[in-house]
């Protein structure tokens, strides 16, 4: 049994129903879209249907319960008349069904998310591998032709590069945003043809053994000067301020402010329209959050993105994003790429 | 305003809160991971945060409300003291927050899913395009070398083929399951090397303009005879029985039985361990369901998979899957590929 599930079991006063598939994967290494765990201090039951049952039986130290496709119905039968903790992310309708089946439910929000936020050495090693692949992919990316190609075409070539470098999968749909597309922080790679004189934001990452990387670099297509270059320097300075100041013990709000204050003191005040960063791991967005609304305090072993940006409506966007491990005294930056102003062809 | 949202509006007695991003995309064409719609008879509000606000403003006939990153908090403020319908898939914790904020919530389960299950002509055209691409990709797939390569390697080459044929994306992580891997209906493509004499199950599909295709074919790697070939013929006969019998007006349970009865009358009785099929559309799995547990009745305009299989634990699996449109008198089969026994090299 993994240390993760043992740490969880030690905290339990009553059975905990785990229905988030990512949390099931985290705790026992079982990867299925239709499963649930019932974790007790001295017992773990894994419920899943026929399609996944062979894989379930290969998991050590769990009792496998084969259910109908309607695994939720089986949960109700299994837990009727018991007092059970559950994850707040479960659909409301599932909660209703379990209550109707006589399960006495009390919320146990965030227990597993808190465990997941602090990575163990094995997880850190996996994320380091994902980042090393991402470093190499971005190095090759900067050598590609950009001008005259569509954003979508560049995104596809980048995916091929990731595959060649050993990634299992893409961590999310890549963003390749040139000129005005880049001014939408979550603009997708589209059919727009990239032109000389534009900035292009590339936000990409990969999955290695289930764990994500998440990088962004902003390139100049040919010669770009003036306001765009000034904005780049502001974002770079904002990121450096955050990288210099982040350490265990500060809050997500304080971390966010390290970068935001630099941008807000510049000509681009108010133009960082999103939070500074987020945890990465089995999900691309997980705890802790670095933002003006974050409830979190940073701990050693958190792995977070640091990604300030400046977005000028309909004209251009700039974002620079590294992945870092939070340590007692500061950070370990997993992103080894240059952040110098980079011209691509 | 699209006919879809008008049809929904006509059914509304009170404001409907839509939080499932796929449903938001279906109703107003807005694609974001952090958004909500408040639909009323004569008014639609779209709530989203800064990152998506430019895209939101491009949507016709909706009032855009810019929220903090915590869009849910803003919903509570916007709807306090009102009687509101909501989707049962919303997380329990969100339901609690809205109730605490004074929103009076009543469930309106499945309204949009029911609309989505019946495709309009534009949606059918899009799915036909996705299927035409998938036909071409599978034709090319059958010409590839299988033996001596890993499942993962074949899956990657298939993804490249889909891209070359014009797919926007893969619809799901492709399954390439050879020999024992194929006996797990949802076994992933792994590092196992495919060998001569095995059956290999390939389950793949693509996204075109947001809509999914979902096919499966099972190939023989070199010469395969005996039980495996007999099982193939049983699955093929089961699928044909379903294709012959499916039409609007029958239930999902009846549709499932058309194929299941053929398998259960054969030497492979009990070996179809999953439902016969499911709706496809903006999601790869949506209403209606064809299974022993389905609550649905088929309607003209449903688009469903028809995918019987036989799975023999640890030894082999066979599945044959077409995508079909349900019509008043029968089906339109969108899958034009051969289902004849196919040997690959």
Asked whether residue B209 falls in the same domain as residue B335, the answer is yes
CATH number of the domain to which A92 belongs: 3.40.350.10
Asked whether residue B144 falls in the same domain as residue B71, the answer is no
Nearest CB neighbour to B70, from listed A70, A109, A293: A293
One DSSP character per residue, A114-175 reads: HHHHS--HHHHHHHHHHHHHHHHHHHHHTTS--TTSBHHHHHHHHHHHHHHTT-SEESSPPE
Asked whether residue B179 falls in the same domain as residue B110, the answer is no
DSSP state of A221: E
CB B112 within 8 A of CB B18: yes
Nearest CB neighbour to B91, from listed A51, A89, A274: A89
- The more confident residue out of A176 and A81 is A176
Look at B93 and A95 and tell me if their CB atoms are within 8 Å: no
Q: Mind listing the pLDDT tens digit for each residue in A247-300?
A: 999 999 999 999 999 999 999 999 998 999 999 999 999 999 999 999 999 999
Both tokens assigned to A255: 């971390």
How many whole angstroms separate alpha carbon B88 and alpha carbon A96? Answer: 9
Q: How many domains does chain B have?
A: 2
Asked whether residue A150 falls in the same domain as residue A167, the answer is yes
Asked whether residue A161 falls in the same domain as residue A303, the answer is yes
CB B344 within 8 A of CB B144: yes
Cα A291 off chain centre by: 15
Angle at which helix A3-10 crosses helix A21-28, to 10 degrees, equals 110
CATH number of the domain to which B305 belongs: 3.90.230.10
Range of the domain at A275: 118-344
SS3 assignment, position B85: strand
- Give the residue on A whose Cα is nearest the Cα of B273: A50
SS3 assignment, position A289: strand
Asked whether residue A34 falls in the same domain as residue A167, the answer is no
Asked whether residue A263 falls in the same domain as residue A139, the answer is yes
How many whole angstroms separate alpha carbon B222 and alpha carbon B345? Answer: 6
Look at A293 and B69 and tell me if their CB atoms are within 8 Å: yes
Domain boundary (B70, B86, B116) is at B116
Q: Residues A329, A331, A336, A341: what is their CA dihedral angle, to the nearest 10 degrees? A: -100
Both tokens assigned to A40: 């007790």
Q: Smallest Cα–Cα separation from B84: which of B45, B35, B32?
A: B45
Asked whether residue B49 falls in the same domain as residue B127, the answer is no
Query: Measured between beta carbons, which residues in chain A are less than 8 angstroms from residue B187?
Result: 54-55
How many whole angstroms separate alpha carbon A136 and alpha carbon A161? Answer: 9
Q: How far is B77 from chain A (nearest CA, A)?
A: 17
Asked whether residue A181 falls in the same domain as residue A106, the answer is no
Q: Mind listing the pLDDT tens digit for each residue in A132-177?
A: 999 999 999 999 999 999 999 999 999 999 999 999 999 999 999 9
Give the predicted TM-score (pTM) of the model. 0.88
| pLDDT, chain A, mean | 94
Asked whether residue B312 falls in the same domain as residue B200, the answer is yes
Asked whether residue A76 falls in the same domain as residue A153, the answer is no
Interface test with A, best of B33, B54, B66, B112 (most A CBs within 10 A): B54
Domain boundary (A116, A132, A162) is at A116
Asked whether residue A245 falls in the same domain as residue A284, the answer is yes
Q: Over B17-62, what HEC string results? A: EECCHHHHHHHHCCCCCCEEEEEECCEEEEEEEHHHHHHHHCCCCC
Domain boundary (A63, A98, A116) is at A116
Q: Mind listing the pLDDT tens digit for each residue in B139-198?
A: 999 999 999 999 999 999 999 999 999 999 999 999 999 999 888 877 778 889 999 999
How many whole angstroms separate alpha carbon A148 and alpha carbon A222? Answer: 12
Interface test with B, best of A29, A49, A54, A315 (most B CBs within 10 A): A54
Q: Walk along chain B (345 residues) in steps of 10 and give the mean pLDDT of each run.
A: 86 92 94 92 93 88 89 84 89 90 88 94 97 98 96 95 95 94 83 95 97 98 95 98 98 98 97 94 97 96 98 93 98 97 97
Biggest CA–CA distance in chain B, Å, is 70
Q: Smallest Cα–Cα separation from B216: which of B229, B244, B235, B234?
A: B235
């Amino acid at each position: 049994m993994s240390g993760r599930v043992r740490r969880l079991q030690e905290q339990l006063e009553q059975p905990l129903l785990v229905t988030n598939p990512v949390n099931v994967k985290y705790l026992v290494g079982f990867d299925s879209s239709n499963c649930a765990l019932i974790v007790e201090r001295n017992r773990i039951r894994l419920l899943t249907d026929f399609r996944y049952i062979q894989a379930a039986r290969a998991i050590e130290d769990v009792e496998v319960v084969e259910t109908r496709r309607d695994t939720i119905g089986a949960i109700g039968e299994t837990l009727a008349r018991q007092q059970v903790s559950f994850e707040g992310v479960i659909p409301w309708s599932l909660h209703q069904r379990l209550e109707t089946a006589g399960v006495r439910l009390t919320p146990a929000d965030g227990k597993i998310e808190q465990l997941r936020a602090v990575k163990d050495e094995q997880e850190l090693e996996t994320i380091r591998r994902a980042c090393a692949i991402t470093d190499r992919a971005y190095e090759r990316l900067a050598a590609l032709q950009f001008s005259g190609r569509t954003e979508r075409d560049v995104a596809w070539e980048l995916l091929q590069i990731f595959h060649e470098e050993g990634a299992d999968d893409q961590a999310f749909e890549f963003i390749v945003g040139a000129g005005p597309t880049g001014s939408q922080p979550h603009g997708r790679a589209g059919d727009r043809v990239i032109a000389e004189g534009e900035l292009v934001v590339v936000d990409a990452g990969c999955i290695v053994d289930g764990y994500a990387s998440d990088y962004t670099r902003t390139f100049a297509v040919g010669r770009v000067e003036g306001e765009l270059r000034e904005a780049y320097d502001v974002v770079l300075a904002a990121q450096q301020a955050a990288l210099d100041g982040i350490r265990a013990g500060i809050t997500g709000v304080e971390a966010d402010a390290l970068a935001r204050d630099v941008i807000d003191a510049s000509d681009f005040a108010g133009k960082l329209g999103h939070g500074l960063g987020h945890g990465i791991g089995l999900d691309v967005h997980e705890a802790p959050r670095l933002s003006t609304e974050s409830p979190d305090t940073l701990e050693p072993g958190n792995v977070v993105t640091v990604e300030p940006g400046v977005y000028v409506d309909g004209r251009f966007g700039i974002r620079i994003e590294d992945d870092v491990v939070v340590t007692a005294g500061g950070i370990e930056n997993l992103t080894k790429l240059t952040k110098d102003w980079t011209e691509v062809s």
